[in-house]
A and B are shown apart, each in its own frame.
Chain A
Amino acid sequence: MGALDGLMQGFQVAFSWEGILFVLIGVVTGTLIGMMPGLGPISAIAIMIPVTYGMNPSSALVMMAGVYYGAVFGGSTSSILLNAPGISGTVATSFDGYPMAQRGEAGKALAVAAISSFIGGTVSVVLLMLFAPALASVAISFGPPEYFALMFLGLTAISSLSDGSTVKALISATLGFMAATIGIDAQTGTNRFTFGNPNLMEGIDFLVIALGLFALAEVCFLILNRKDKSLSKQSDIGNLKLSRDDFKEMKGPMTRQSFLGFLLGVLPGAGATIASFIGYITEKRITKKPEEFGKGSIKGLSAPETANNAATSGAFVPLLSLGIPGSGTTAVMLGAFLVMGIQPGPLLVQDRPDVFWGIIASMYIGNVFLLILNLPLIPYIAKILKISRPLLISLVIIFSLIGVYSISFSTFDLYLLLAFGLLGYLMRLFSFPAAPFILAFILGGMMEQALRQALTASGGSLLVLVEDPISVGLLAVSFLSFIVPFIRKKREDNKQNQDAA
C-alpha cells in the first residue's frame, strides 16, 4: 500500500466523528493540564493512560497524541503569565514572554505564543506527513560525537543569554553544570555528590530547578517588593490584537523555526527543549535588534514557541517509524502504545496504517482545534493576572509544590525546590541570570554523557569528535558564533572611536 492510500486511511480515522471527538478531548485535556505550572505532558499522558483502557487503539492513541502536543501548546501559558515553566520546552518562552506580560502585554504575548505554536505545529505535521518514513534515517544519523557537537552549539547560547556581566552568566552556568553531575553516573555507576542520600541518586529533576529558580524566585521577589508601584502594571492584560507589524516580526522566526525545530525534534534526546533554545539563539543572532531579546521581544517569544511545537511533531518520527522513544514523554507514550497492543517500530506503517497515519492526520485537526480554542480564551486566561496578588502568589507556590510532588512523590524534592527557590532569589538579588544555569543543567548532563560515550567507543581518542561532517559542521558553527560577537563588537568600538575622533 502506498503512502497516499495510507494517508487517506489516516484521514478517514481522523475525520470520523469518533476521531474528531477524541482529538478534541485530547487537546482540551492537554492544554488544561499543560497550562498549570508544574504539570507537563508526562503527567498529562500518565493521567490519561487509565482512561484509555478498553478503547479502540487508534482513537485512544489519537487522543494521547492530542494530550501530548496540547500540553506543549498550553505549557507556554504559565511561562508567560507566571514565569513558571512547567516543562523544559517552555523555559525559553519565559525569557521574552514574561517581560511582555510584565509590560502589560499579556494578551498579546499569549496570542503570539498561540499563533507561533499553531504555525510550528502545522508546518511540522505537513513535514511529518510527507517525510515520516523517509526521516527515520535522519533520526539515527546522530551518534555520540554529533550529539556532543549539538549540545556544544547549544551552550554557546550562554554568552547570548546574559544582558549584563558575561562573567556572572558563566558563573551561573558553572553552577548549572555542577548540579547536573549530581546522581549516579551512567557511564561508571558511581555515586556523585549524593552524600549517601538515595533521593539524590537519580539526580535532580529538571522541574525542581526550573520552578525553584524561576517561579519561586519570582514569587520571593514579588513578595519582598510588594510596595513597588511599577510592578502593578502587570495586571494589565493589554490589547490582544496583533498589528501588521507584529506579524511581520513573527514571520521570520515562524518560518525558520518550523523547519529547524522539526529537524531537532526528530533527533532522539534533543527534542523540544534544545529546539526552543537553539531557536531562541539563532533568532537572536539573525535579528538586527538583539538588544530587545530578553526584554519582551516578539521575535524572542515567537521563536521558541514555534520551535518547541514543531519539535513535538518531530519527536513522533523516531517513535512511530523506529520505535525509539527520544524523551521521557515519548517513553510514556510508547508505554501507552504497548498497553493498546500496538508495537511502534519500522513495521507499524505496514501493519497498522490506520494508527500510523491516523495519528499524523489527527495532529493536523488537533492544531486547528488548539488555535480555535485558545485564541478566544486568551482574555479569560490572562485574567489570572487580575487575581489579587497575595492569592496569585499562593497559587503559584501551591502549583509548584504539587507539580514537583506529582513527579517523584517525594517530600525531599519539595525541600530541594525551596532551596532552589532561595538560590534563585539570591541570584536575582545579585543579578546573576538564571537562564544560563538552567541551560547548562539541561545540556550539560547530555553533553557529558555524549562525550564519554564517544570517548569510550574510540578508546580515548579525541579525533572521534571531528571524524564526521555533521559534528565538524556543528562545532565550526559553535566556534563562529563564539567569535563573531567579539569581532562585531570590536568593529563597532573602532567605528565609535573613529566617530568620536
Chain B
Amino acid sequence: MKKLWGLAILSLLVFTVACGEQSSGTTESDGEWKPDGNIEIVAPGGAGGGWDTTARSVGKVLEDQEIVENDVAVVNKPGGGGAVGWSYINSTNSPENIFVSSPPLIFVPLNGQSDLSYEDFTPLSNMIADYGAFAVADDAKWNNLNELFEDMKADPSSVTVVGASSPGSMDHMQFVKVAKAAGVDIQKIKYVSAQDGGALTQILNGSADVYSTGVAETIEQVKAGKIKVLGVTSEERLEGEVLSTFETAKEQGIDTTFVNWRGFFGPKDMSPEAVAYYEEKFKEVSESHAFADIRSKYGWDEMYMDSEAYKEFLKEQTEELGSLLEELGLGK
C-alpha cells in the first residue's frame, strides 16, 4: 500500500511539474534575437479546444521540423473566455511567453468582459482560417440561406438559432453578420447558447432551428444525413469531400464573409528583433508540408499574415464587429 501511495505522489509530482514550467529572460547579440530557454505557448482555453489544438499542432511542427532549437511547451490557462490567459501573458511580460488567439480576442473586450484587447499585445503572425457554417435538421423546410432569411425577414422571432458560445461571441455574431447582410432585423433574432453538445442535440430534436457552428463540426452529421448545411461564411468554396458541397453565403447573393482566424500574439512591448524572429519561424511552419497535412486534417485554410498585416486586419475586424455589437446593444 505504501508503494501505491508513493507511486501516486510521484506521478502527481511529475504531472504538476510538467505543467508548471516557466521560462524567463532574453538574450540579444548583434541584432539577432533568440529565445532564452523554452518557448511557452499559452492556450487560453481547456485541453481539446480550438486554441489548444492550434497551439499543440504548431508547437509540434516547430519542434519536429527543428524550426526552433528550443523546446516548445503548450500550457493551458482556461477561464473567462480567454481573459485569464491574456492577463497571464500581460503580467509575465516575457517574449518567450506567447499565446494563440482568434476572434474572441476582439469579442470579449468589446462585450466588456476583459480590459485587455488586441492592442495590449503584439500580433506576431496569423496562421490559419476556419469558417462558420449554418446548419438545420435534414428535414427542415429551408434548403438555402435565402429561404431561411425570407422567413426571418417576415418574422425574425419565428426562428431560434443555437450555438455554443454566449451572445456577442463567435457563433452568435457570425450568424448576425450574415443575417444583417441579407436584410434581417438583427435585434429580433432569437439566439440560445447551449454547451456540452447541447446545440447539436437541440437541432436534432427540433428544440432549435438553426445551428451556427464551425464547418468541421457539421461534416460527420451531414454525411450521416442528419443535418444539412444551408451556407458557409468563407469567401470561396471550401475543398474536401463534403466541404465542397457547401454553398457560400456569397454564392447565394449575400455579400459577406466571416473568418475564424487563428494566430499568435506576444506581450505588448516586444523588441522588433523578437517580432522578426517569430514572424520568420511561423512563416516557416505555415509553408511546411507537415503543417499543410495538419491543415487538411482539421479542414483549416492557410492564412498567413505577418505582424503588420495582422495588426491592420485586427483593426478592421474590431471596427466592423464593434458596430454590429453596438447595434445589438451588446457593446460596452
A442 close to B (CB within 8 Å): no
Q: How far is the CA of A47 from the CA of B14 in the complex (A)?
A: 11
Contact code string B3-41 (vs A, CB < 8 Å = 1, else 0): 011011000100110011000000000000000000000
Contact between A327 and B167 (Cβ–Cβ < 8 Å)?
no
A250 close to B (CB within 8 Å): no
Q: How far is the CA of A341 from the CA of B76 in the complex (A)?
A: 23
Size bin of chain B's contact surface: 35 or more
Contact between A189 and B202 (Cβ–Cβ < 8 Å)?
no
A327, A341, A344, A345 interface centre (most CB from chain B within 10 Å): A345
A139 close to B (CB within 8 Å): yes
| Residues in B whose Cβ lies below 8 Å from that of A423 | none
List the B residue with the shortest CB-CB distance to A187: B193
| Residues in A whose Cβ lies below 8 Å from that of B191 | 456
Please choose the segment from B78-86, B124-132, B301-309 that sits at the chain A interface, where 4 or more of its residues have CB less than 8 A away.
Answer: B78-86
Please choose the segment from A101-109, A195-203, A287-295 that sits at the chain B interface, where 4 or more of its residues have CB less than 8 A away.
Answer: A195-203
Q: How far is the CA of A35 from the CA of B205 in the complex (A)?
A: 38
List the A residue with the shortest CB-CB distance to B330: A189
| Residues in B whose Cβ lies below 8 Å from that of A143 | 201-202, 205-207
In chain A between 308 and 354, which residues have their CB closer than 8 angstroms to a CB of chain B?
A: 318, 322-328, 331-332, 334-335, 341, 343-347
Contact between A325 and B47 (Cβ–Cβ < 8 Å)?
no
Contact between B80 and A202 (Cβ–Cβ < 8 Å)?
yes
Task: Name the contact of A187 in the complex, choosing from B15, B166, B198 (C-beta under 8 A).
Answer: B166
Contact between A189 and B113 (Cβ–Cβ < 8 Å)?
yes
Contact between A328 and B196 (Cβ–Cβ < 8 Å)?
yes
A393 close to B (CB within 8 Å): no
Known interface pairs A140-B204, A198-B80, A201-B113. Does A47 touch B193 (Cβ–Cβ under 8 Å)? no
| Residues in B whose Cβ lies below 8 Å from that of A186 | 166, 193, 195
A494 close to B (CB within 8 Å): no
A243 close to B (CB within 8 Å): no
A496 close to B (CB within 8 Å): no
B315 close to A (CB within 8 Å): no
B318 close to A (CB within 8 Å): no
Please choose the segment from B146-154, B217-225, B253-261, B262-270 that sits at the chain A interface, where 4 or more of its residues have CB less than 8 A away.
Answer: B217-225
B289 close to A (CB within 8 Å): no
Q: How far is the CA of A191 from the CA of B114 in the complex (A)?
A: 10
With both chains docked as a complex, state the minimum distance between the C-beta of B83 and any C-beta of chain A, in angstroms: 4
Contact between A202 and B160 (Cβ–Cβ < 8 Å)?
no
List the A residue with the shortest CB-CB distance to B86: A198
List the B residue with the shortest CB-CB distance to A43: B15
| Residues in B whose Cβ lies below 8 Å from that of A449 | 193-195
| Residues in A whose Cβ lies below 8 Å from that of B297 | 341
Contact between A326 and B1 (Cβ–Cβ < 8 Å)?
no
A459 close to B (CB within 8 Å): yes
| Residues in A whose Cβ lies below 8 Å from that of B169 | 189
A221 close to B (CB within 8 Å): no
B226 close to A (CB within 8 Å): yes
List the B residue with the shortest CB-CB distance to A196: B115
List the A residue with the shortest CB-CB distance to B12: A402
Contact between B223 and A269 (Cβ–Cβ < 8 Å)?
no
Contact between A332 and B16 (Cβ–Cβ < 8 Å)?
no
A56 close to B (CB within 8 Å): no
Contact between A188 and B84 (Cβ–Cβ < 8 Å)?
no
A380 close to B (CB within 8 Å): yes
| Residues in A whose Cβ lies below 8 Å from that of B225 | 346
In chain B between 179 and 230, which residues have their CB closer than 8 angstroms to a CB of chain A?
A: 190-198, 200-202, 204-208, 219-221, 223-226
| Residues in A whose Cβ lies below 8 Å from that of B8 | 32, 35-36
In chain B between 67 and 123, which residues have their CB closer than 8 angstroms to a CB of chain A?
A: 75-81, 83-84, 87, 111-114
B157 close to A (CB within 8 Å): yes
Contact between B195 and A345 (Cβ–Cβ < 8 Å)?
no
List the B residue with the shortest CB-CB distance to A325: B197
Q: How far is the CA of A254 from the CA of B150 in the complex (A)?
A: 55
Contact between B205 and A142 (Cβ–Cβ < 8 Å)?
yes
Task: Name the contact of B20 in the complex, choosing from A323, A328, A409 (C-beta under 8 A).
Answer: A409
Known interface pairs A189-B330, A345-B224. Does A184 touch B190 (Cβ–Cβ under 8 Å)? no
With both chains docked as a complex, state the minimum distance between the C-beta of A376 and any C-beta of chain B, in angstroms: 13
Contact between B111 and A406 (Cβ–Cβ < 8 Å)?
no
Contact between A327 and B196 (Cβ–Cβ < 8 Å)?
yes
With both chains docked as a complex, state the minimum distance between the C-beta of A383 and any C-beta of chain B, in angstroms: 5
A369 close to B (CB within 8 Å): no
Q: How far is the CA of A324 from the CA of B77 in the complex (A)?
A: 25
Task: Name the contact of B113 in the complex, choosing from A184, A325, A454 (C-beta under 8 A).
Answer: A184
Known interface pairs A144-B202, A456-B192. Does A335 touch B79 (Cβ–Cβ under 8 Å)? no
B322 close to A (CB within 8 Å): no
Known interface pairs A139-B201, A199-B79. Does A383 touch B196 (Cβ–Cβ under 8 Å)? no
In chain B between 124 and 178, which residues have their CB closer than 8 angstroms to a CB of chain A?
A: 157, 160, 166-169
Q: How far is the CA of A86 from the CA of B5 in the complex (A)?
A: 16
Contact between B166 and A325 (Cβ–Cβ < 8 Å)?
no
Contact between B16 and A405 (Cβ–Cβ < 8 Å)?
yes
List the B residue with the shortest CB-CB distance to A327: B196
Contact between A335 and B190 (Cβ–Cβ < 8 Å)?
no
Contact between B1 and A381 (Cβ–Cβ < 8 Å)?
yes
A408 close to B (CB within 8 Å): yes
List the B residue with the shortest CB-CB distance to A46: B47
Q: How far is the CA of A184 from the CA of B80 in the complex (A)?
A: 8
| Residues in A whose Cβ lies below 8 Å from that of B5 | 384, 395
B48 close to A (CB within 8 Å): yes
Contact between A457 and B196 (Cβ–Cβ < 8 Å)?
no
With both chains docked as a complex, state the minimum distance between the C-beta of B329 and any C-beta of chain A, in angstroms: 11
Known interface pairs A198-B83, A345-B220. Does A268 touch B201 (Cβ–Cβ under 8 Å)? yes
A431 close to B (CB within 8 Å): no
A481 close to B (CB within 8 Å): no
Contact between A268 and B160 (Cβ–Cβ < 8 Å)?
no
Q: How far is the CA of A269 from the CA of B196 in the complex (A)?
A: 6
| Residues in B whose Cβ lies below 8 Å from that of A326 | 196-197
| Residues in B whose Cβ lies below 8 Å from that of A156 | none
B78, B205, B219 interface centre (most CB from chain A within 10 Å): B205
A141 close to B (CB within 8 Å): yes
Known interface pairs A143-B205, A143-B206. Does A189 touch B167 (Cβ–Cβ under 8 Å)? yes
18 contacts between A and B (CB under 8 A): A32-B4, A36-B12, A39-B12, A144-B202, A187-B193, A201-B79, A268-B198, A268-B201, A322-B201, A324-B200, A326-B196, A326-B197, A345-B224, A346-B226, A409-B19, A410-B84, A456-B191, A459-B190
Top 7 A-B pairs, shortest CB-CB distance: A335-B48, A201-B80, A346-B224, A143-B207, A345-B220, A324-B197, A189-B166
Known: A142-B205, A324-B200. 11 other contacts (CB 8 A): A186-B166, A186-B195, A187-B166, A189-B168, A202-B80, A326-B196, A331-B197, A406-B15, A449-B193, A453-B192, A457-B190
